[in-house]
Amino acid sequence: MTPSAPAVTPGAGQSAGAISDSDWSAAVAAIRGLPTTATVLLVCHVTPDGDALGTMLGFGLGLCQLGFAPLATFPAPYDLVPPFDALPGRELLIDPATAPAAPDLLVCFDAASEGRLGELADRLEHAGTSIVLDHHASNTRFGELPLVDPKAAATSVVAEALLARLGVTLDAAMAECLYVALATDTGSFKFDLTTPAVHELAARLLATGINPAEISRRLFDSRPFGAMKLYGDVLARAVLEPSAAGGGGLVWSYATLEDLARHGQRRHVLEGLIDAVRVAEEADVSCVFKQVAEREWSVSLRSKGGVDVGRLAVSLGGGGHRLAAGFTGYGTLDDVVESVRAAL
């Protein structure tokens, strides 16, 4: 059986109010009740960001401390890209094609709905127990034991709270993963959900000896020269629509597959584009359309507070938060841009 752990009172910064004590206890019991030989599968959403990957790997390392041998994966396209390819715990990752079909325990991270799990969604049905850790307000409460706190700044906050209740001791490897997750989803501690508790959690992670300057450089201040040139092209074609969003203003731009090919870049370099576009002071809402296929676009949305882009994204088949969200659009670029205008 899993080694017994001392009772732990969650420290400052850990998820508390939105998740009931009974739900926390059920999740702890589900994990502690398994033998360490159990098959444990960790999954996160397609095209995972820092919160999804960092939280999943950090939690996986915590389970290793308890004696488990978890496997971790995410839906195709299965590609571990910079800056996340150096994360501790990456040795836990396996190709989704080899993921066990009926694990004893499945733990899902940072996915608001089953659809975000792609071909791995069927593991929810066949798992002995499923636990869902998330912080999206649009979460559908899928899974047997959903632990969802929409007020948490990142899924890593929820995961760290569960690790504490399991009696796991944070080490530098776990802390680096969780710090990457926390820094990513708070925009380097700039977004609205960056509370005093978030900084207290960051302080505990830093106390393990990780290097915040190096982590921040990898996350926010490093990209290939070709990507820098691509960003220049995208910013040069940005459009400002002052009357959109109820007069709050919309700024948008787009990146095509041809842009990527011209500059010799992979898709992951486009993830930071929204941060370069959202700085326009004349617009409350910013949007970047990233071409995935001839008639498919991955759309990133941001708001400075006047518009709930999470609600907008949900109306278009996506999800997210009030100030940061996204969806997948189909058709020509003009079709997808017009769908955003109409939703606004």
Phi first, then psi: what are they for 93, rounded to 5°? -75, 140
CA-to-CA distance for 210 and 285, rounded, in angstroms? 35
Rounded to 5, what percent of the chain is helix, strand, coil? Answer: 40, 15, 40
CA-to-CA distance for 127 and 134, rounded, in angstroms? 19
Amino acid at 335: D
CA-to-CA distance for 247 and 149, rounded, in angstroms? 32
Report the 10 Å Cβ neighbour count for 21.
8
Cβ 170 vs Cβ 14: under 8 Å: no
Q: Do domains 21-220 and 225-343 have the same CATH topology?
A: no
Sketch the domain layout of the chain as residue ranges: 21-220, 225-343
What beta strand segments (E) does 8-79 contain? 40-44, 71-73
Task: Dig out the tokens for 208 from the structure.
Answer: 């393990």
Question: What's 237's DSSP letter?
Answer: T
Sheet holding 239-241, edge to edge: 239-241, 250-255, 285-293, 296-303, 324-330, 319-320
In 3-state terms, what secondary structure has residue 209?
coil
In 3-state terms, what secondary structure has residue 204?
helix
In this structure, CATH architecture of domain 225-343? Roll (3.10)
pLDDT at 319: 83
Residue 270 CB partners (closer than 8 Å, separation 6+): 255, 260, 288, 290
Amino acid at 293: A
The radius of gyration of the chain from alpha carbons, rounded to an integer in Å, stands at: 20
Phi first, then psi: what are they for 82, rounded to 5°? -60, 145
177, 56, 157, 207: CA torsion to nearest 10: -20
First-last CA distance in the chain: 53
Digit-by-digit pLDDT tens for the chain (344 residues) are 333 333 333 443 445 568 999 999 999 999 999 999 999 999 999 889 999 999 999 999 999 999 999 999 999 989 999 999 999 999 999 999 999 999 999 999 999 999 889 999 999 999 999 999 999 988 999 999 999 999 999 999 999 999 999 999 999 999 999 999 999 999 899 888 899 999 999 999 999 999 999 999 999 999 999 999 999 999 999 999 999 999 999 999 999 999 999 999 999 899 889 999 999 999 999 999 999 999 999 999 999 999 999 999 989 988 888 888 899 999 999 999 999 999 99
Cβ 56 vs Cβ 180: under 8 Å: no
Amino acid at 31: I
Q: Can you spell out the DSSP letters for 64-106?
A: HHTT---EEE-PSS----TTGGG-TTGGGB--GGGS-SS-SEE
pLDDT at 5: 36
Q: Which CATH superfamily is domain 21-220 in?
A: inorganic pyrophosphatase (n-terminal core) (3.90.1640.10)
Phi first, then psi: what are they for 48, rounded to 5°? -65, 145
Cβ 285 vs Cβ 307: under 8 Å: yes
